Amino acid sequence: MTKLLPQILLLSVLFFLNSALINAQDFDVACRNAQPFCSDASLELTFPNTIGDIDGLGEVGCLNTTPNPSWYFLLIDESGELVFDIRQWMDTDGDNRLDRDERQLDVDFIAWGPFQTSFIVNCDDELSRGCDLNGDGDNIRPAECVNNADEPDFYIGDEDNTNIVDCSYARTSDDNFIETFTIPNAQTGEFYIVLITNFSDEAGVIQLEQTNLGEDGAGTTDCSVLEPGIPQDRIATCGEFPLTIEGRFPASTGPPAVPAAETFQWSRADLGDTNFVDIPGATFPFYDNVTSNGIYRLRGFDVNDVEVPDSPDQVSVLDVSQITFQVGYNITEESFSGSYTITAEISTDPIVEAEGFTDFEYRLDRDVNMDGNFVESRPYQSSPIFEGVPPGDYRIVARYVNCPDNERTSVDIMILGYPKYFTPNGDGFHETWNLINPEDQPTPALVYIFDRQGKLLKQLNPTGAGWDGTYNGNLMPSSQYWFRVEFNEQSDRDPNRGRRVFAGSFSLIR
């Protein structure tokens, strides 16, 4: 059922959200000036609706009429399903909340996506105005589009065979003042374009509220798009070029009022440099041919060719698969502590570090059998700190986060310690007792073994075969035995590696 238009038609109206003047009936120009929108747990944003353009854009998708269209775009942060409620009301007290005494307004919408940027160069070609039920790409008509209130799975199942994501309208203003908008399988970095109408032609606000936030499988929107300029400070790529970067300088009603940027210019400088050079032809609010490391700067100008506030803004781009860095380590505990904390230390190009590319992740590998074969002991983690590490041989493997192409490994870490027990019973396991990692000593360590009465049983060469549990050729019984070791400290507490003495005990088990 087609809604009835008000009797008075405004035949020629120039309108643009936030006072930027464009031809509101020009579908292509209107969609290119879509405004950023988002919805998360901390932000329930409202935006002014559009009035004075009752003609709108005519028939688009399932909408028989599109009076007072307002255009928005969303950027996906976390992948998943997103479900929104769309409301429109007369916010008489200006608190951006729907109060009981405030009258709701009829709201309809259509949405398209996904797109690589929010700025569509040719909306006439890229935003479908109809559906294609047989999927042949011909005779695409609005008449083939359905209202999602009638067939909820029509757009979710992509039965429209176009890039329309969802579309809905209330048949009369009494039916429902809430429309539901669903993106079934959004992916991080995707943009979606939304057109929302105002059939009543009354001034109010629009709110897009995500209703499935926090649920299993729910995606999220990226609210950084609300800030003027480029959302990211830096972009790390693992060898994936070309990239697309984007920024906006939207209008603001103030105070003070800020005009929107109408024209744009991208420029580039090397990382660590300030010599920016304009990129020929890069005059849209996005640049889709980033093929090298560098700092990319965006400038915006208003209708009078005056640079707008918050311009310029810039983003650093780096292929982290190609950076060089070294992996060091730090151990704070003294030897024979039994449990150690290893902290990885990354040193890299000062320019890379100055640009903020410091998001490394770390893995701890161990030589379990002391045969030179290292296996994963702790999986990759964002923290460089590994706590509760027992004595043994280790390596730290580091890489830039989510970039397996640039793994680097530390030197071997030999933590001095001793086994708590040994079992000289002929089964081939734990047959002798000796220090763990005594090789990393500037002068040889000295080891003495005693029984419970303090009788010296053995003086060990710590780099030799170890004690086999005998004394003068006789088997010693299962019991607790004591040892004393003289060694050079290797912790950071003693950078001079001074000589120390440590005493402890271990068990002989037969």
383: Cβ contacts below 8 Å, ≥ 6 apart: 362
Could you say which DSSP state residue 247 is in?
A: -
Coarse DSSP helix, strand, coil percentages of the chain, rounded to the nearest 5 percent: 5, 40, 55
Residue 415 amino acid letter? I
Closest listed residue to residue 114, CA positions, set 158, 164, 39, 160: 164
In this prediction, residue 224 carries a pLDDT of: 86
Q: Decide: 318 and 355 in contact? Cβ < 8 Å.
A: yes
Residue with tokens 């065979």: 161
The sign of the CA dihedral 301, 305, 308, 311 is: positive
CB atoms within 10 A of CB 293: 19
Q: Where does CATH 2.60.40.10 sit in the chain?
A: 323-415
In this prediction, residue 23 carries a pLDDT of: 36
Alpha-carbon distance of 32 to 54, in angstroms, equals: 20
- In the sheet that 179-186 helps form, which strands lie side by side, from edge to edge? 46-48, 205-210, 80-89, 179-186
> 10-residue block means of pLDDT along the chain (510 residues)?
30 29 59 84 77 89 93 93 93 86 91 91 91 92 94 94 94 70 93 93 91 93 89 92 91 76 96 96 94 97 94 97 94 84 95 95 92 93 95 94 92 89 92 87 86 93 90 94 87 64 92
Q: Decide: 206 and 80 in contact? Cβ < 8 Å.
A: no
Measured in degrees and rounded to the nearest 5, phi and psi for residue 80 equal 145, -170
Could you say which DSSP state residue 3 is in?
A: P
Four-CA torsion 185, 189, 193, 194, nearest 10 degrees = 60
In this prediction, residue 174 carries a pLDDT of: 55
| Ordered DSSP codes for 343-398 | EEEEEE-HHHHHTT---EEEEEEE-TTSSS--EEEEEEESSSEEEEEPSEEEEEEE
Alpha-carbon distance of 221 to 79, in angstroms, equals: 9
| DSSP β-ladder status, 408-409 and 277-278 | unpaired
Q: Decide: 207 and 91 in contact? Cβ < 8 Å.
A: no
Tokens of 377: 């002991």
Closest listed residue to residue 385, CA positions, set 402, 411, 406, 364: 364
Alpha-carbon distance of 88 to 34, in angstroms, equals: 18
Residue 238 amino acid letter? C
Which fold does the domain 1-226 belong to in CATH? Jelly Rolls (2.60.120)
CATH number of 323-415: 2.60.40.10
Alpha-carbon distance of 70 to 88, in angstroms, equals: 12
Alpha-carbon distance of 76 to 94, in angstroms, equals: 29
CATH number of 421-508: 2.60.40
Q: Decide: 9 and 170 in contact? Cβ < 8 Å.
A: no
Residue with tokens 């057109």: 195
CB atoms within 10 A of CB 93: 10
Residue 229 amino acid letter? G
Burial of 95 (0-12, 13-18, 19+ CB in 10 A): exposed
Cα angle, residue 264 at apex, residues 258 and 270 outer, rounded to 5°: 115
| Ordered DSSP codes for 77-146 | SS-EEEEEEEEEE--TT-SSS--TTSPB----EEEEEEESSS--S-HHHHS-SSB-TT-SSSS-BGGG--
Alpha-carbon distance of 161 to 154, in angstroms, equals: 10
Report pTM.
0.71
- 234-321 is classed in which CATH architecture? Sandwich (2.60)
Cα angle, residue 421 at apex, residues 419 and 427 outer, rounded to 5°: 110
Residues in the chain: 510
